Amino acid sequence: MRFSHLCLLVWALQASATILQNGQVREDAYPGQAPEILVDDSWRAYGPDAPEISYKGRWDRQYVSCERLPGIKLGFTGSQLALRFGSQTSEGVLLAYRFGGLDWKFSNVTTNAIYQFAGPWTAGMNSTREKTFEMRVQLSGVYIASDGELTKALQYNKTVEIIGDSFASGQYATYEGLSAWAYSFAAGLGDVEYSITAYPGICLTDKSCYSNEARGMTHQWFYAADVGARAEATYGNNPQKWNFSAHPPADLVIIDLGTNDQRNNVSGSDFYDSYTALINSVHDTYPQAEIVLMSLWGKFFRYGDKYIQSPFYAPDLHRVFESFHDQPFVHYFGTKGILQHNDIDPQGHPTDVGHLKIASHLMQWTKLKLGWEFGATGAEVQHDTLYWNDQAGYR
């Protein structure tokens, strides 16, 4: 049996990375390191193909995902849970995990090793019989102590898919994907399943925009593996198509693409054609889905004593939206005016605060325009944001 693997390269770097907040080192930035263990016959073993495991995001047939925030969700009984990571796991990759609605924890893992995520030390294990384990980042074999078993975790009935680039992936944000607007939006809604189909550097238009991105999203959306070098080395010119019928269709699809096209000089008319093609592909695949085009915030320039926002492809995106005017499933979410110049970090991506502003506005928009209710009951979404104000006195 093959076990699973992971190649979230940026997370691999971040695993040993220090988080700086205004020059101060964040202490205990990644709580929750799982111990590496050996399992014996007192554990029940399950393969990565166990039907109780729900995969979120795109995973290929070797149970590898190279997206920034793929996940698994499973249920189990008993109080002990361990996972094995396969040979393609990036060395030292950091993953985020949690039980039920408890806070996110972090652990780095290595190849061909088994880590125990739940044990008698884990809060909440004694209080409910069936627990939910959720991991955003990776997969593998699963082991449950022999007094328990694997179960399917509760699945929400509504599904959201976000199609995007490094912005939706949270590149350069504090906890990357876990700090991204895409995750904050979908997890913030509370009672939806979600997938984030996003790759840093990807263009909407089908072209290679940066060295690691062979194809654009109009092509890549149909495939299970990512556009990076690992997938190409593994599958060559026979990449695995994504089997849409094996997964629940999305009810809501948000598209945030085009910044890389702009940086790669894709013309407005090519951008228009690609956008129209992607909307048609999404609609053919998910005929019931509401599709939201997110406008591109673009750049901010200082002009005299003011800042001016210069969104990318604004007329082209309007033209795309107009061309679907008799098709009520296409919506437009305007981001102009939500971010200010200092919500963009020195690497050209939103700061954590910028991501939260986008997510919060989009949540409210989804409620007002589409009539979705907020279903969150208080489970942590943004991790470790208390540092903004944890003092009663300021002197």
Ligand X SMILES: *[C@@H]1O[C@H](CO)[C@@H](O)[C@H](O)[C@H]1NC(C)=O
Of the candidate spans 19-27, 118-126, 327-335, 362-370, the one that interacts with ligand X by CB under 6 A turns out to be 118-126
β-bridge partners, 355? none
β-bridge partners, 43? 145
Binding residues for ligand X, rule CB under 6 A, total 17
Query: What angle, 0 to 180 degrees and rounded to 10, lies between the N-to-C axes of helices 181-189 and 352-370?
Result: 40
The residue among 23 and 120 lying less far from ligand X, judged by its C-beta, is 120
Task: Report in angstroms how near the CB of residue 122 gets to ligand X at its nearest.
Answer: 6
Task: Report in angstroms how near the CB of residue 250 gets to ligand X at its nearest.
Answer: 16
160 binds ligand X (CB under 6 A): no
64 Cβ contact list (under 8 Å, min separation 6): 4, 5, 6, 7, 86, 88, 225, 230, 234
The residue among 18 and 22 lying less far from ligand X, judged by its C-beta, is 18
Tell me which H or E stretch contains 6.
strand 5-6
Other beta carbons within 10 angstroms of residue 305's beta carbon come to 5
Euclidean distance between CA atoms 274 and 142, whole angstroms: 41
The residue among 156 and 329 lying less far from ligand X, judged by its C-beta, is 156
Tell me which H or E stretch contains 252.
strand 252-256
351 binds ligand X (CB under 6 A): no
The residue among 15 and 338 lying less far from ligand X, judged by its C-beta, is 15
Euclidean distance between CA atoms 289 and 331, whole angstroms: 11
Task: Report in angstroms how near the CB of residue 385 gets to ligand X at its nearest.
Answer: 21
β-bridge partners, 18? none
Is residue 43 within 8 A of residue 145, CB to CB? The reply is yes
Task: Report in angstroms how near the CB of residue 120 gets to ligand X at its nearest.
Answer: 5
Among 123, 310, 341, 387, binds ligand X (CB under 6 A): 123
The residue among 35 and 337 lying less far from ligand X, judged by its C-beta, is 35
**Contacts from 365-370 at CB under 8 Å and sequence distance 24+?**
365/333, 366/185, 366/189, 366/252, 369/331, 370/252, 370/290, 370/331
The residue among 285 and 323 lying less far from ligand X, judged by its C-beta, is 285
Task: Report in angstroms how near the CB of residue 315 gets to ligand X at its nearest.
Answer: 19
Other beta carbons within 10 angstroms of residue 13's beta carbon come to 13
Q: What angle do CA 364, 217, 297 make, to 5 degrees?
A: 45
Dihedral of the alpha carbons of 148, 150, 154, 160, in degrees to the nearest 10 = 150
Q: How far is CA 198 from CA 111, 204, 221, 224, in A?
A: 24, 11, 9, 12
120 binds ligand X (CB under 6 A): yes
Query: Please, which of residues 241-280 interact with ligand X by CB under 6 A?
Result: 243, 245-246, 264-265
Q: Which residue is nearest to ligand X (CB)?
A: 92
33 binds ligand X (CB under 6 A): yes
Of the candidate spans 44-52, 140-148, 238-246, 380-388, the one that interacts with ligand X by CB under 6 A turns out to be 238-246
Euclidean distance between CA atoms 54 and 57, whole angstroms: 10
Task: Report in angstroms how near the CB of residue 240 gets to ligand X at its nearest.
Answer: 9
Of the candidate spans 34-42, 226-234, 240-248, 305-313, the one that interacts with ligand X by CB under 6 A turns out to be 240-248
Euclidean distance between CA atoms 180 and 354, whole angstroms: 9
Q: Which of 109, 91, 94, 98 is nearest to 14 (CA)?
A: 94
Among 24, 126, 211, 347, binds ligand X (CB under 6 A): 126
Query: Please, which of residues 58-117 interact with ligand X by CB under 6 A?
Result: 92, 108
The residue among 147 and 322 lying less far from ligand X, judged by its C-beta, is 147
The residue among 161 and 193 lying less far from ligand X, judged by its C-beta, is 193
The residue among 241 and 302 lying less far from ligand X, judged by its C-beta, is 241
Task: Report in angstroms how near the CB of residue 97 gets to ligand X at its nearest.
Answer: 14
Task: Report in angstroms how near the CB of residue 164 gets to ligand X at its nearest.
Answer: 20
Among 157, 238, 347, 389, binds ligand X (CB under 6 A): 157
Please give the residue ranges that form the binding site for ligand X (CB under 6 A): 15-16, 33, 92, 108, 120-121, 123, 126, 154, 156-157, 243, 245-246, 264-265
